[in-house]
Structure 1
Amino acid sequence: MVTYSDQQIRGVIKPKNLAQLEQIELQSLRSVILAKLTKANQLGIETQLNVTGWVQGGRVNELELARIVAILLDNAIEASSKQEQKWLGIGLDSYGEDGVDILIENKFAGDTPNLTAWFERGYTTKGSNHGRGLAIVNQLCDKNLIDLEVEYKRGLVCFILGIGV
């Protein structure tokens, strides 16, 4: 029996993406990614999800990882929604029990961004009451020993989270 929620999810999420989400064993991370893919699709943002292998938690705090990914995806969705070419990519590359890399990338047109400034508490291009998200991401990554990199290449901003065991 297909429930109402199943119909709603299948209406906005590609079947391939739903199958790949099942490879993420961390319930909270899977839920965050599903919610953000749904939001992006509702905003007309083309999405791409690639999950390689079974994604396990290892030593990282699952809820804090979900919070990190949620903040990064919210920022990527907001930035993508303002671009002419609206695109968001999410990749999870598992190394089994050795860890996982999580990539979040989006199109970014305009001048080369000051990536270092993005992580300073209070830095924002959005106006007042903003500028905390990436500083929080940085703190949570430090606390959980997650490697965090950000790159800008050929019109793409890419955040890479490296999670070891």
Structure 2
Amino acid sequence: MKIKWAETLKQSMHGLAESLGDLLVEGFHYLALFGIGGITAWAAVTAFLQMIEKGHITVDDILLLFIYLELGAMVGIYFKTNHMPVRFLIYVAITALTRLLISDVSHHQSPDMGVVYVSGAILLLALAILVVRYASSNFPSVTPSKGESKSASSSRSAQAEAADTD
């Protein structure tokens, strides 16, 4: 036979451990987001200053700045909604491949099969964006989390939809 006060103590300890764990995870989450955001901003400013120092800017440089912009937007959206915008990762990949393609063609002057491969990869990523958009609009995955009211859940759902639209 269990003693009632022991069961109450067990539940209290479990609640305290869960609260402390949630606090530590949330703290790490925010620390990591601020770190990633700060490093992204630092890299963008450094790249921009190098462009100014160089005295001219190429399409490669502009695409690099777009990559930093997309990474910053991705961090901001994740910070606000706690949802990883997968489409932004795909946009970064498309921009990086486009940068590679432009750099390769402008420096080597002779397009080869590598251009076809990179172009095919860009096409596949564009199709992946279509699939992700279709899936997120027809099969939303936002569900209320533990302790969250229905209105808070619908507010988060609206934020996620707003983050998912272009």
TM-score normalised by structure 2 residue count: 0.26
Q: Which has more helix, going by share of residues? A: 2
Q: Which has more strand, going by share of residues? A: 1
TM-score normalised by structure 1 residue count: 0.26
